[in-house]
Amino acid sequence: MAEKLHFELVSPEKLLMSSDVDMVVVPGVEGDFGVLINHAPVVSTLRVGILEVHSGDAPDRILVRGGFAEVNPQGLTVLAEEAMPLSEVNREALEAQLKNAEEDVSDARDDDQLAKATKVRDRLVEILGVLDLAA
């Protein structure tokens, strides 16, 4: 495979990755799909899941949450609201956060606080769910 796919991973805060790779497996809402060079143009929203970047040896696995992927003739762009390499995800820390978040939910005094705490908790639950699947 001579030609490579141009892949960019962007979060609202910065450009996380920009390189030429062999294949990327994207966790779309309607199922995972692999993107190779000369893929037909697609726009798909993402679910919480693992993005796999294949380039040479073992694939890089990146946890993404929220956002969408766009394939056009220039390559693949993934816009993720949150993205972190799976190797950097610390399960214990996340579980500790989840525990805190659950306490916040039960301690919430008004609707505002409750909504905020629930949001934090749901996010952690989603991420942990994905980790369970990946393990």
CB 77 within 8 A of CB 10: yes
40/58 with CB nearer other proteins: 40
Binding site for other proteins (CB under 8 A): 8, 10-15, 28-30, 40-45, 66-68, 70, 72-74, 77, 79, 81
Considering the complex, what minimum distance in angstroms separates the CB of residue 82 from other proteins? 9
DSSP string, 63-75: EEEEEEEEEETTE
CB 56 within 8 A of CB 85: no
38/58 with CB nearer other proteins: 38
11/135 with CB nearer other proteins: 11
4/33 with CB nearer other proteins: 33
- Strands 5-10 vs 75-85: parallel, antiparallel or unpaired: parallel
72/90 with CB nearer other proteins: 72
Considering the complex, what minimum distance in angstroms separates the CB of residue 23 from other proteins? 18
Considering the complex, what minimum distance in angstroms separates the CB of residue 133 from other proteins? 20
Considering the complex, what minimum distance in angstroms separates the CB of residue 39 from other proteins? 10
Considering the complex, what minimum distance in angstroms separates the CB of residue 116 from other proteins? 9
Burial class (CB in 10 A: 0-12, 13-18, 19+), 97: middle
Buried b vs exposed e over 10-47: b needs ≥16 C-beta within 10 Å?
bbeeeebbeeebbbbbbbbeeeeeebebebeeeebebb
